[in-house]
Structure formats: C-alpha cells, structure tokens
Structure 1
C-alpha cells in the first residue's frame, strides 16, 4: 500500500535492492517537479521508500540517474524510428512517420520529454551532456531522412536547415501543448497534419 502522500512506504530490511525502474520512475517525477537541484538523492530515496545508501547501490549519483532516464527515453523513440527506416517507402513518407512518432512520444512520455527537450542549459547538472547527446542523436536520424529527400530532388533548401525547421515546428506543438494544457487546443492529429503539411509545402518542390 502507498501512503496518501503518494510516496512508497519505507521498505523493510532485506528489500533494499529495489528495482532500478522504481528509482528511475521516482526520480523522473521529482526532476520535473523540483528541478535537477531540488531533486536530491535523499528525496528520491524517500520517494521510493529506501535509504540513500540503498539507492547508491544502483546509481553513483543523480547525474547518472538523469542520464539513464534520457537514454531510456531516446531508446524508445529510436526503436520506433529504426522500424520506420527499415520499411520500404519514399523518404517523404518516412519523414512524416518519424515526426509523427516523435510527436506521439512527447504526449506518451511527458516527463521524459520535458527532461530531454525542455531542460534549459545548466538545469541538468552533470547529466547535461547526456541530454545533449540524445538531442543530437535524434537530429541526425531526422537529417538522414531529409537528406534522402534532397537526393530525390524534392527539397528547395539545404537539408540541415530543412531539418531544423521541421523539428522546430513539431517540437513547438508538443512543448506548447504539454506546458499549456489549459489552452483550448484543437484536435491533436489535425494540428500535426496542418503544421507538418505547411512546413513541407514550403520546403519542397513539385
């Protein structure tokens, strides 16, 4: 049973080796609620219901925890984009499907998305490089597909610039809808299709 506060009950001796998943889930919530500095090891341990010493048996510090959250989040998205890449289709269709997967990932994993893509410089502490690596990895995956469109003669702009514009557009929708949920947003799928089509129309030639 979890107490009314939502925290896990303190685990009795003999249960100190909690699953890493429990620690990661608790830390993810606290990083979003309190920021990197506010989510101390003691608070994360309390949230899970273990001692700080037990937590250190799984992670050397909170930077390692945040780095693993970032890597795990990107791993989910990377697996989906790999599946899309493996299928036979035009580069434009692959790009649309990859960006749709990115879009849906944000809503399915709002805390991980905030940590990876909405953390300001300096907020991620020792895990900042991991967050940057995740962001760069996604960008390169998208740019490879945009470059394929360029090879097909479909682009009227440099692939690097085109990738930035496409990513910025989709990220803008996700971040706004996550941080401003009270706004009277139109249908999520309709907004994605309209925005993506408008950007692609400007970047491609017939």
Structure 2
C-alpha cells in the first residue's frame, strides 16, 4: 500500500503475509528504514511513517502557502469555524477598536502534505464582512483580501512564546495533550501602517519551525 507521513504500518505478521516473506526479512527492512528516518517506532504502539520537519523563514508578507511552495510541499487549509464575536481586551487593543466591539473570527487548520501543523485563529474588524461570503477552504487569506480591497499587507510583527496544548488544539493537531506548542501572535500592517488583521498561531514545533535572520 501507499502510506502518508504519520500513517501506521501493518504489523510484522501482516507484512509477512502481504508480501509472502519471512519475519526476519521484514524486521531487517523496517530497521533499515528506521535508520534512514523514513519510519519511526513508538513503544507499545507500532511503526509509523516519519513526519518530516518543515522550516519557515520569517519575513514580511511570507505566507504559509508561499512557504510550502518554496519547499515543494503541498499546503492545504481546513476552515474550522467562521463567526462574529465580541473582541476581548487583547484583541481590541491589537485591532485598535473598542472592547467588546464586534469582530470576525476565523479558525483554520493548516496542513503540509496532509499533516496538520498549525491551528490558527484570525481576527478582523467587522468591516471585513466580505470574508464571510468567500470560500476560504484551501485559499490564501492574502489572496482573498487583495481581491476585495486595494490596501495590501506591507509588514508583520511576530511575538513568540511557548504554550502547552489543550484538548481543543490537540484534537485538531493530532498531538499529545499538554504538548509544548510554539505560539505566534502576529500583527499584519498595511503600507499606511494600519493594522490589517491580528492572528494567533499554535504550531507543532516538532514538525514546523521558524528560522529568523536579521542584519546587525
């Protein structure tokens, strides 16, 4: 069969029957693939296809979709929910609006080669109502925004911290509960230095990493 990153392989006994070979041949083949980091063994669970790490170089306007294309990986996005909510204190300050003012909240799951790596929550001012009418599945938000308004993103500010996964994040990211995640709080600015939107990203740091470079 064809197995994707993260898939569990059949047992040694099942592989012996499928390919009509001895158990020692199967065991040796699996050991070699583990050495080459193609497979990984999990004690008490079985053998799995290794999920490769992905590295993101941070820079202004560097979208998830473009980053995946640069490393020849397939990006995809699943929309978890699109709602109108009241802004909490932190979000209202980030968007420069009044507390409890209505905002648009979009929750998305970002995948690389069908492996979930980022749980993302995007916050927009209520005047971005056009987002509720757009098909957002497997589309870049930047692409949707640029199609509807003339103002384009110019720069981003990122704040990095570590946050332990909760039940909600773990369920979507398919990771252990309480696993350390890389949390990125991101402000996206227009060329007029106005806040375009604010988002929070919860990243499986064992599968997706940020590389930051700066001139000194």
TM-score > 0.5 by shorter chain:
no
Structure with bigger gyration radius: 2
Greater helix fraction, Structure 1 or Structure 2: 1
Q: Given the two structures, how large is their TM-score scaled by the length of structure 2? A: 0.28
